[in-house]
Structure 1
Amino acid sequence: PRYCHPIRIENEKQQWEGTDHSDQQLLQITWSNTKPQKGVNLLSYYDIEWLKSWRYDDGALRDRRAKTEVTTEQAIKSISKGGAGVDTKSKLVEVKFDEIIHFDDEKDKLLVLFKAIFTHGAAIVKNCPDVDEGPTSPVTVIARALAGSLSHGSLYGDLFHVRAEPNANNIAYTSVPLCPHQDLAYYESKPGLQILHCATMDPDLIGGESVLIDGMAAAEKFRQIAPDHFRTLVTCPATFVKQRDGACMTYLRPHVVLKEGPDMNDIDREIVAVNWSPPFEGPLCLPPDQVRSYYAAHAAFERMIDNSLQTRDSFVTAFLSEGELAQLGE
């Protein structure tokens, strides 16, 4: 195991006790005791490999970025052969519902689910029961297993159903195709995890396909092909808005967020977040001389994403069949 805190702190007169750690190199630190009345010095032990993994010289920072940054090579369909999920239709890790509902008995499967969401941005839970309400619904059960509870229910409730309705006040409740977007982008703190349950899907149904886009990989590709437009999406905040009876929410944030660094004008910094929700964008709050360049960059990124839906680029995959549940890391 790796530790971000001392593996053990003990009295200097004590000896290291524990499991066999012959293959584990440890750094011992002796802390001087400035209060003699409390006794002898204390010892701390740190895992050498863990310390090395958090070096901050230039080479180490480059290596760490290479391991963590999402690029087109690490996108959904580019998961290396032999990696988890590569043999599935969606190219995502898949876990059965019954394997994770008993947390005490199936901690390993829950860990697989957590790791898949963290590593690939999404995962699939198969064979979910056809329950769409109450505490036994798959959405509620999985949410409690992953996060302890549901959240962000003030606008639509903890659970809401996406189905076509007459006289709908939201495009989501119609049969009109939805363009790629994130939900609830107008919150100051967006959901970190979204759960979608495909309760029914008629095999003869035309349309209704769920499509997942790896926004981080898409942004990386956009940086490569249109660096000037990419810079605009990094530096110009978009306006995300929700306005209807009983709701008036607005939040400004850039479409692409880069990791902070000493040179904030450097657009080659690591991409750490993407905010994209055209159906819920409002009037800009930008100086007049930036408006034209913003809309040009916005249109270029939108065209790239829309075209990727037709070509099924490496960062696009279709997912969710009847009885399946998807967890998406926002």
Structure 2
Amino acid sequence: MFMYFGNMCNLYPKDGATNLAYTSRPLNLHTDLVFYDETPGVLFLHALEQHRGIGGDTILSDGFKAAEVMRREYPKQFHILSTANAYFTDRGVDSNSETQSGFPYIKLNRGRVINLDSNNDISYIRYSNHLLDSFTDIPVGEVDEFFQAYKLFYNLNMEHSLHFKINDGEMLVADNHRVLHGRETLQGKSSRHLVITYITWDEARCRRRRLQEKFPEILPNLP
């Protein structure tokens, strides 16, 4: 469980895990921390030790591209995912807690899968199969259509996905509002060890502006 932005969390397979991130099982394409109102914008995934056997490949997909394909080729399904609210939830005990018993939590968020701004442009994606709650306030007659659209969006992302292995010492930096990521099954015994953390886009842009002031000859003058 990742409690707050800025905390670094060690990811490795362990016995008795209640979170898929700590297992050898596959992780379907998703964006992280979808149960927060404000999901973190930038994801950092540092590979300290990569799985030596078959599997463990990282999967990435441009969610904006998949959404635009859906808008163009499946407008009805696009409308559903950009207007209907889904619930995302996570519950358990904080494994990073300093208390002996851990800190129990129930995270819950209600939001749209494809979010549009005032110009009708895609602003961010909120998607996670393993955190999608079975509860919904979608009218009964529209539930099947919602889940069909939800599955279609996943398939479109998989069609345009990249599969590769992060090497020891490499770091993946991704836009968590746009890029869906996942993991292939780790086959055999694994000592795979990754560290993950996040920052908001506000903080990233703040640091970029300060660096632009310091190195104007190197960095472009972006807003």
* Aligned equivalents of 2:130, 2:123: Cα separation in 1: 23
Deviation readout 1:173-201 (Å, 9 max, x if unpaired): 11111100111110111111111001112
- The match for 1:273 is 124
**Greater strand fraction, Structure 1 or Structure 2:** 2
Q: Is the 8 A contact 1:236 1:254 kept in 2?
A: yes
Deviation readout 1:214-257 (Å, 9 max, x if unpaired): 11111111222211111100110111111123111111111001
Deviation readout 1:4-59 (Å, 9 max, x if unpaired): xxxxxxxxxxxxxxxxxxxxxxxxxxxxxxxxxxxxxxxxxxxxxxxxxxxxxxxx
- The match for 1:294 is 146
**Greater helix fraction, Structure 1 or Structure 2:** 1
Instruction: Select the residue among 216, 222, 225 that pairs with 2:73.
Output: 225
* Aligned equivalents of 2:87, 2:110: Cα separation in 1: 5
* Aligned equivalents of 1:260, 1:155: Cα separation in 2: 29
Q: Is the 8 A contact 2:87 2:111 kept in 1?
A: yes
Q: Is the 8 A contact 2:62 2:157 kept in 1?
A: no
Aligned residues: 165
* Aligned equivalents of 1:292, 1:271: Cα separation in 2: 24
- The match for 1:234 is 82
* Aligned equivalents of 1:317, 1:214: Cα separation in 2: 13
Q: Is the 8 A contact 1:214 1:316 kept in 2?
A: no
Alpha-carbon distance, 1:321 to partner: 1.5
* Aligned equivalents of 1:319, 1:209: Cα separation in 2: 4
Which structure 1 residue ranges, 5 or more long, are not aligned? 1-151, 262-268
- The match for 1:284 is 136
Instruction: Give runs of aligned pairs for residues 1-330 of structure 1, distance below 5 A.
Output: 154=3, 158-202=7-51, 204-245=52-93, 246-261=104-119, 269-282=120-133, 283-306=135-158, 308=159, 313=160, 316=162, 318=164, 320-330=166-176
Q: Is the 8 A contact 1:241 1:281 kept in 2?
A: yes
TM-score between the two structures when normalised by the length of structure 1:
0.47
* Aligned equivalents of 1:200, 1:302: Cα separation in 2: 29
* Aligned equivalents of 2:173, 2:36: Cα separation in 1: 19
Shift in CA distance, 280/213, structure 1 to aligned 2, threshold 3 Å: same
Q: Is the 8 A contact 1:200 1:323 kept in 2?
A: yes
Deviation readout 1:266-293 (Å, 9 max, x if unpaired): xxx3212111111111021222232122
Deviation readout 1:103-126 (Å, 9 max, x if unpaired): xxxxxxxxxxxxxxxxxxxxxxxx
Deviation readout 1:101-150 (Å, 9 max, x if unpaired): xxxxxxxxxxxxxxxxxxxxxxxxxxxxxxxxxxxxxxxxxxxxxxxxxx
Q: Which runs of 4+ in 1 moved over 4 A?
A: none
CA RMSD of aligned residues (A): 2.2
* Aligned equivalents of 1:199, 1:160: Cα separation in 2: 12
* Larger RCO (CA under 8 A, 6+ residues apart): 2
* Aligned equivalents of 2:16, 2:132: Cα separation in 1: 22
* Aligned equivalents of 2:23, 2:2: Cα separation in 1: 21
Q: Is the 8 A contact 2:2 2:9 kept in 1?
A: no
* Aligned equivalents of 1:194, 1:159: Cα separation in 2: 11
* Aligned equivalents of 2:143, 2:112: Cα separation in 1: 14
Q: Is the 8 A contact 2:35 2:108 kept in 1?
A: yes
Alpha-carbon distance, 1:205 to partner: 1.8
* 2:143 counterpart SS class: helix
* 2:54 counterpart SS class: coil
Alpha-carbon distance, 1:317 to partner: 5.1
Which structure 2 residue ranges, 5 or more long, are not aligned? 94-103, 177-223
Q: Is the 8 A contact 1:213 1:317 kept in 2?
A: no
Alpha-carbon distance, 1:328 to partner: 1.4
